[in-house]
Amino acid sequence: MSECFKDFQAFATWHSQQVGYGIPGYQLDKDILVNHNKIYGEDTCVLVPPSLNCFFTDRAADRGNLPQGVHFSKEKGHYTASITDMGKLVYLGYHRTVEEASAAYKQAKEAAAYRWYEKLSGGEFVVDPRVIERMKNYKFVEGLTNGG
């Protein structure tokens, strides 16, 4: 945590000056602006709608050793892929191999990021301009929670 965030009054002042402050439901996010970020701070955090915050959820604990977005269906004997898109879980079908499922996830994730970019740049949600730029340039990279 940054020194600013360790001081409640300094954090409250910073928070009240952020784009999106006062919008019901908006959440503090540390993962959008900086890859692999572990630090909550004034240069790494932004306020975003919950469904955009969910877009960057990795769910590593739920998937075990499989790539992000890929699960194995014991009942069907196939791999499945799914993404969270605009706050909704979307299944991407069954796939014979991990690689096929992972490729389907990557394609869907990047398409979803671009839809977010269109909504954000169109003013549907109020966010920091850095978030809009991040979604415009989003590329999924396995192992990175927010792409390149």
Q: What are 63-106's pLDDT values in tens digits?
A: 678 898 899 988 888 999 999 888 788 999 999 999 999 999 99
Q: Which range is least confidently modeled, 6-15, 36-45, 56-65, 73-82? A: 56-65
Distances (CA, A) of 115 to 52, 55, 85, 110, 138: 11, 12, 9, 9, 11
Q: Which range is least confidently modeled, 34-38, 97-101, 118-122, 125-129? A: 34-38
* C-alpha torsion sign, points 133, 137, 138, 144: negative
Half-sphere exposure of 41 (CA within 13 A, CB side): 10
CA dist 109 and 2 (Å) reads 31
- Whether residue 34 lies inside any domain: the answer is yes
Strands (E), the chain: 27-29, 46-48, 70-73, 78-85, 88-95
- Whether residue 146 lies inside any domain: the answer is no
pLDDT confidence of residue 111: 95
- Whether residue 147 lies inside any domain: the answer is no
Which two tokens mark 83? 């993404």
Report how many domains make up the chain.
Answer: 1
- Whether residue 109 lies inside any domain: the answer is yes
pLDDT at 56 over 80: no
pLDDT at 58 over 90: no
- Whether residue 9 lies inside any domain: the answer is yes
Range of the domain at 132: 3-136
Task: Taking residues 34-48, report their average pLDDT.
Answer: 88
pLDDT confidence of residue 148: 45
Burial of 113 (C-beta count, 10 Å sphere; 0-12/13-18/19+): buried
Q: What angle do CA 112, 109, 136 make, to 5 degrees?
A: 55
Which two tokens mark 37? 């970020």
CA dist 79 and 96 (Å) reads 6
pLDDT confidence of residue 142: 66
